[in-house]
Amino acid sequence: MHGAFEAVRITDRVWWVGAIDWKIREFHGYATYRGTTYNAFLIKADKVTLVDTVRAPFFDEMLSRVASVVDPSEVDYLLSNHAEMDHSGGIPRALEVMRPEKVFTSPKGAEALKAHFHQDLPLEEVRSGERRDFGGVWLSFLETRMLHWPDSMFAYLEEEKLLFSQDGFGMHLASSERFADEIPEDILYREAAKYYANILLPFSPLVGRVLKTTKDMGLEIDLIAPDHGPLYRRQPGWIVDHYAHWAEQRFSKKAVVVFDTMWDSTAKMARAVEEGLRAGGAAPVQVMSMGSNHRSDVATEVLDAGALLVGSPTLNNNIFPTMVDVLTYLEGLKPRNLVGGAFGSYGWSGESVKRLEAWLERMKVELPAPGVRTQYVPDAEALSQCHQLGLSVARALVERWSCQEG
């Protein structure tokens, strides 16, 4: 009798046995409007190896897919490429049901799995550059520390020219299709960029290094199999090239204006700033109210921007809470090569603009012009100052972009 869930064969020896999470809309602070997948893979050679697992509540779905290929008790090895719970959550039950001989993982993976599960695990550590026999097929390993966690690693299956890349090259996208070439490119681009911006951006220098190491290793890659979203079987270079571009964080002429407002005064200022930016040559200009945008969408827009301008009213001597939220989030993501500015309205104390500027400076955003603040409702003079702020930032942006482009 067939179970409800079938594995999907992706090469001669490898099956996708993951789970599709159509429902999830929040992933540790990241809005996942299109759900996600937790990809796990089964390698069937003289030994049977399960590569990563799924988030714990999806274990039975994964087990059903495994059972469509082999009796789960025939799984000899687990390979844990990343210890975060969306990939390791199924390990405790996999140990009970499958009783694998070994769980292969990086040295940092061993530490992380012990600290998550507090139980005896049949761990065997593998390191960068090692090559191991998995029952007549060979896997080699590359530790990719901090992409996404210290434990993360890539595993390369030589016989299939297949790179298991855990979070790397992933995206949060639930779909019936398993391959990127079956999905419209605009959706792929948007979700891949969002994933990079929200998960990998802080580690961009490391992304550049890992891409170089992978290239230097001379690996022939026919298929990239990340732990989230679709697999790349045709033109795997598409996603690699985008990663190389995002990792560089080059100046662009794009500007992002992020604001919130209480009585529409800071919103009016944002509109005048946008006019100034456009007049100064910034393009495109994306204006985002925190009343109607999620922090993770702001991060996605900032990924390929060269300017970040922020506006906040003063509330109780401080920055408006939604702006604190988005700035805390953006600061952690460490976007680089930005110019910017600050603006906002106030009633009597007026601290927000100074605080916004201090925050931007901490984020290493260059401020070519002083911030603009206005009491209560901006008049024509205040709006003109906002326009001028946009103009000054755009001119600085275009100048830096021109220098970069030579």
Q: Catalytic positions, please? A: 28, 82, 84, 86, 148, 167, 195, 228
Residue with Cβ nearer ligand FEO (47 or 228): 228
Query: Which position among 44, 47, 55, 148 is part of the footprint of ligand FEO (CB under 6 A)?
Result: 148
Q: Minimal distance in Å, beta carbon 224 to ligand FEO?
A: 15
Closest residue by beta carbon to ligand FEO: 84
Q: What x-and-dash track marks residues 227-256 binding ligand FEO by CB under 6 A? A: xx----------------------------
Q: How far is the CB of 83 from ligand FEO (least distance, A)?
A: 9
**Identity of the residue, 154 or 259, whose beta carbon is nearer to ligand FEO in the bound complex:** 154
Report the C-alpha gap between 294 and 58 in whole angstroms: 27
The one among 86, 143, 151, 191 contacting ligand FEO by CB under 6 A: 86
Residue 221 CB, nearest approach to ligand FEO (Å) = 20
Contact predicate 3/152, CB 8 Å: no
Stretch that binds ligand FEO, among 40-48, 84-92, 175-183, 270-278 (CB under 6 A): 84-92
Q: Which of 65, 87, 233, 294 binds ligand FEO (CB under 6 A)?
A: 87
The 3-class SS string of the chain reads CCCCCCCEECCCCEEECCEEECCCCEECCEECCCCEEECCEEEECCCEEEECCCCHHHHHHHHHHHHCCCCHHHCCEEEECCCCHHHHCCHHHHHHHHCCCEEEECHHHHHHHHHHHCCCCCEEECCCCCEEECCCCEEEEEECCCCCCCCCEEEEEHHHCEEEEECCCCCCCCCCCCEHHHCCHHHHHHHHHHHHHHHHHHHHHHHHHHHHHHHHCCCCCCEEEECCCCEECCCCHHHHHHHHHHHHCCCCCCEEEEECCCCCHHHHHHHHHHHHHHHCCCCCEEEEECCCCCHHHHHHHHHCCCEEEEECCEECCEECHHHHHHHHHHHHHCCCCCEEEEEEEECCCCCHHHHHHHHHHHCCCECCCCCEEEECCCCHHHHHHHHHHHHHHHHHHHHHHHHHHC
Kindly state whether residue 143 participates in binding ligand FEO, applying the rule CB under 6 A.
Answer: no
Q: Which residue's CB is nearer to ligand FEO, number 59 or number 346?
A: 59
Considering beta carbons, is residue 86 or 297 the nearer one to ligand FEO? 86
Which x/- pattern, by CB under 6 A, does the window 286-305 give for ligand FEO?
--------------------
Question: Least separation, in Å, of the C-beta of 119 and ligand FEO?
Answer: 21
What is the pattern of x (binds ligand FEO, CB under 6 A) and - over residues 185-224?
A: ----------------------------------------
Q: Which residue in 167, 260, 301, 357 binds ligand FEO (CB under 6 A)? A: 167
Q: What minimum distance in Å lies between the beta carbon of 193 and ligand FEO?
A: 17
What distance in Å separates the CA atoms of residue 244 and residue 274, rounded to the nearest whole number? Answer: 30
Q: Which of 21, 52, 76, 84 binds ligand FEO (CB under 6 A)?
A: 84
Q: Closest distance between ligand FEO and the C-beta of residue 86, in Å?
A: 4
Residues that bind ligand FEO (CB under 6 A): 82, 84, 86-87, 148-149, 167, 227-228
